[in-house]
């Protein structure tokens, strides 16, 4: 008579402990202060030209976004992106 209630009590306790652990992880994530990227960081120590040679990029093997792209950005050029509100001026 006693083994079945003890087994159920043990299983119930294990489920409660897993729930408490999961709640702790969730609450820790909720309590994190969000990182906000407002684009105000400045990179002041870039000097000279920037050159990209044979740059390739893909999210998967079948879908190449960039394939052997080559380009240079000369000193003093202002780059702007309206998508991410990014501005870079090479000194």
pLDDT reported for residue 30: 92
pLDDT confidence tier of residue 1, bands split at 50, 70 and 90: low
Residue written as tokens 């990182």? 35
Task: List, for residues 36-91, the tens digit of each pLDDT value.
Answer: 777 677 767 767 788 889 999 898 888 888 888 898 888 777 666 655 555 555 55
- pTM exceeds 0.75: no
What is the SS3 assignment for 1? coil
Q: What is the pLDDT of residues 17-43, one digit of tens each?
A: 999 999 999 999 999 988 777 767 776
Task: Give the CA radius of gyration of the chain.
Answer: 27
Output 61 or 12, whichever has higher pLDDT.
12
> According to the model, what pLDDT value does residue 81 have?
61
Coil/strand/helix, residue 4:
helix
Look at residue 75 in the predicted model and tell me its pLDDT: 77
Alpha helices in 1-91 (DSSP H): 3-31
Taking the domains of the chain in order of start, what are their residue ranges? 1-32, 50-89
What are residue 56's DSSP bridge partners?
Answer: none
């Amino acid at each position: 008579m006693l083994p079945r209630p003890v087994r159920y009590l043990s299983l119930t306790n294990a489920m409660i402990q897993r729930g408490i652990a999961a709640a702790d992880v969730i609450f820790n994530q909720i309590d994190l202060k969000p990182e906000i990227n407002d684009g105000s960081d400045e990179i002041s120590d870039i000097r000279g030209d920037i050159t990209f040679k044979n740059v390739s990029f893909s999210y998967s093997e079948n879908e190449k976004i960039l394939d052997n792209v080559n380009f240079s950005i000369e000193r003093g050029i202002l780059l702007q992106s309206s998508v991410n509100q990014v501005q870079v001026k090479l000194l």
